[in-house]
Chains A and B, each alone.
Chain A
Amino acid sequence: MTTTDTLPDERGRFGSYGGRYVPETLMALLDDLEAAYREARESEAFQEELSGYLKNFVGRPTPIYFAERLTERLGGAKIYLKREDLAHTGAHKINNAMGQILLARRMGKTRIIAETGAGQHGVATATVAAMFGLDCEIYMGTEDMARQALNVFRMRLLGATVTGVDSGSRTLKDAINEAIRDWVTNVDSTFYIFGSVLGPHPYPMIVRDFQRVIGVEAREQILEVEGRLPDCLIACVGGGSNSIGLFHRFLDDDVKMVGVEAGGHGIASGEHAARFQGGLLGVLHGSQIYVLQDEDGQIALTHSVSAGLDYSGVGPEHCYLRDQDRIEYSYATDEEALEAFQLLSRTEGIIPALESAHAVAEVVKRAPTMDRDQIILVNLSGRGDKDVTQAAEMIEGID
């Protein structure tokens, strides 16, 4: 088993995936970012500053919670939830936003930009920008703005400018295009806080490192409570940051890992965002990865009930770990995710984000096939408040 502590390599590659496919204007900026990050990573002062804010502002460590009623209901493996929904702003995204804004400050940047899909990364970025008093502009597809109106308001309340993107599918992919266009134009002042383990090197490495805290905590916590490692880890995979964050610390352990993509209306319908089901090797947003695309290499429009999973590509480290057979990738359809959304709400009193509900849907399928002394640890990457309006329109029988 290859430990991925040594990855990416010097060229930003995870095996054959990743790299740096960007216009020339950005190459020097990415070199500077990588140098600044490598220096910060080795700096005790930086790491102490980051852990201080994670503890006192974000509220880490987030707990793991034994979901007893869900376990009983499913009648198989013991189910633990890693409660990233309890992190400040309601999702794991803040772990990375906090790390990157400290890096931005270290680099002397005065303006922050970011893309957002579900709005959680946008809210996290707007939050840390407000906290440090930096200008902040968030790019968001207009389709996503419509289905995540609450998060749009939160970002504006936090003082950020939210700029709607009306091109393409008007979702995350198009928001990233526009954020990159902004960055390429405002090279001197601006720091781009990328929200997932995507994009050109060094972003997949930086975001993974800042999210790795999820698995580091969870591993200690489960050892403390159960005295042993879990049998299976489950997390949803959009770009792949909450999943890599949970999985990474366990990669050298004998623990099964399952990433859950968005199955949308089903793979056969073509309306989904399951890159490992229908995607091909391609280049999107600066990285060589699996991409949903047509026979002419045009990027496909994706569909998912969950804005945070509605993206055509999947991070390079996931592509690599899939090739290594280290992580298994499955998918949950919109319908399965909506059922899991309700199930967790009713059995545990926890309303999950629709993204995280995809992971719970996998638990529903898998737990009953496992023994009662086995353990599943699932990443509850975000809370579902942002999704209730949308869910209310889709779920029948709740008045």
Chain B
Amino acid sequence: MGRIDERFSNLKSAGHSGFIPYIMAGDPSLDTTVDLVLALEHAGADVIELGMPFSDPLADGPTIQAAGQRALANGTTVADVLKTVEAVRRQSTVPMILMSYCNPVYRYGLKDFVTACADIGLDGMLLTDLPPEEASAYKEAMHDAGLDTIFLLAPTSREARIKAVTEASTGFVYYVSRAGVTGERHSLSDSLGPMVGQIRSHTDLPIAVGFGISTPEHARAVAELADAAVVGSAIVRRIGEGGSDPHLAKKIGEFAAELAGPLKG
């Protein structure tokens, strides 16, 4: 059993929901990224989603776009991101997935990249612009390497797509709670409950809900419906505002703990 399966299995036994924070590798620096991951783990993160910066992130809103631009401006490379995962893995067993786009991965070489990810102790990957239809080589390489393939579902996904996406996914399924780009929102979508129910009828995989979850109240609402809440922009914005604050990791950890609280109740 992989680290992600094991974690969700433990959560289920405890009657808890998962907390999945997202941060951008290299923002504000690679060293800080390691500290932030460890702080998030300490705050109750069950899976860490680590963004690998891409120049043209067409599924991301302004907050995560800006974080990616900061990371690239710092000179963050694909090799640096892998080294950062490796550095975390030396100190922690927290499950980690990479979130990025196809082009950097394909440029590195799909098989080489997947092998490198497995070697350094990464657990899974989510490529935002890779639907299952285009993913046969990716799935094969990932499964051979023992890595989880997380795919997205969205409010626009109909029955046949829910089936295809859940079949292609391992570890968990990521439900994008509303049509749009990543970013903070004031409220959750009304369709969240019915869609999670519909996905549940197709799969036993845990369902994580993301896009727009920004407050402990949102997290509490998601905990009642799904198996995990993903929080990205609300954390990434605070990292952006914190900049070079020497206590950044501690402060982000405190915010994360507020979000994780309702999920562990």
A residues adjacent to B (C-beta < 8 A):
11, 19-29, 167-168, 173-174, 176-177, 180-181, 184-187, 280-286, 291, 293, 295-299
Evaluate contact between A28 and B161: CB separation under 8 angstroms. Answer: yes
Evaluate contact between A185 and B55: CB separation under 8 angstroms. Answer: no
**Chain A residues in 8 Å Cβ range of B54:** 297-298
> Residue A24 contacts which of B77, B78, B165 (CB distance < 8 angstroms)?
B165
**Chain B residues in 8 Å Cβ range of A296:** 77-78, 104, 107-108
> Residue B134 contacts which of A21, A26, A174 (CB distance < 8 angstroms)?
A21
B residues adjacent to A (C-beta < 8 A):
54-59, 61, 65, 69, 72, 77-78, 101-108, 128-131, 133-134, 151-158, 161, 165, 176, 179-181
Evaluate contact between B131 and A21: CB separation under 8 angstroms. Answer: yes
**Chain A residues in 8 Å Cβ range of B69:** 167
Interface centre among A28, A281, A295 (most CB of B within 10 A): A28
> Residue A187 contacts which of B108, B161, B179 (CB distance < 8 angstroms)?
B179
Summarize B's interface: helix, strand, loop or mixed. loop
Evaluate contact between B56 and A27: CB separation under 8 angstroms. Answer: no
In the bound complex, how far is the Cα of B77 from the Cα of A295, in angstroms?
10
Q: List 23 A-B contacts (CB under 8 A).
A: A21-B131, A21-B134, A22-B129, A22-B131, A23-B58, A23-B128, A23-B152, A24-B151, A25-B179, A27-B157, A28-B157, A167-B65, A168-B55, A181-B61, A282-B103, A282-B106, A283-B103, A284-B103, A296-B77, A296-B104, A296-B107, A297-B104, A298-B104
Nearest Cβ in chain A — how far from B203, in angstroms?
15
**Chain B residues in 8 Å Cβ range of A176:** 58
In the bound complex, how far is the Cα of B138 from the Cα of A199, in angstroms?
21
Evaluate contact between B155 and A25: CB separation under 8 angstroms. Answer: yes
Evaluate contact between B158 and A297: CB separation under 8 angstroms. Answer: no
In the bound complex, how far is the Cα of B152 from the Cα of A24, in angstroms?
6
Closest chain B residue, CB of each to CB of A298: B55
> Residue A285 contacts which of B58, B61, B130, B131 (CB distance < 8 angstroms)?
B58
Evaluate contact between B72 and A298: CB separation under 8 angstroms. Answer: yes
In the bound complex, how far is the Cα of B129 from the Cα of A177, in angstroms?
12
Nearest Cβ in chain B — how far from A378, in angstroms?
33
In the bound complex, how far is the Cα of B140 from the Cα of A310, in angstroms?
37
**Chain A residues in 8 Å Cβ range of B176:** 23-25
> Residue B129 contacts which of A23, A29, A187 (CB distance < 8 angstroms)?
A23
In the bound complex, how far is the Cα of B72 from the Cα of A20, in angstroms?
26
In the bound complex, how far is the Cα of B181 from the Cα of A298, in angstroms?
20
Given A25-B154, A283-B106, A296-B107, are A181 and B181 also a contact pair (CB < 8 Å)?
A: yes
**Chain A residues in 8 Å Cβ range of B107:** 280, 282, 293, 295-297
Nearest Cβ in chain A — how far from B65, in angstroms?
6
Nearest Cβ in chain B — how far from A369, in angstroms?
38
Nearest Cβ in chain B — how far from A239, in angstroms?
15
**Chain A residues in 8 Å Cβ range of B61:** 181
Evaluate contact between A286 and B156: CB separation under 8 angstroms. Answer: no
Evaluate contact between A28 and B133: CB separation under 8 angstroms. Answer: no
Nearest Cβ in chain B — how far from A96, in angstroms?
21
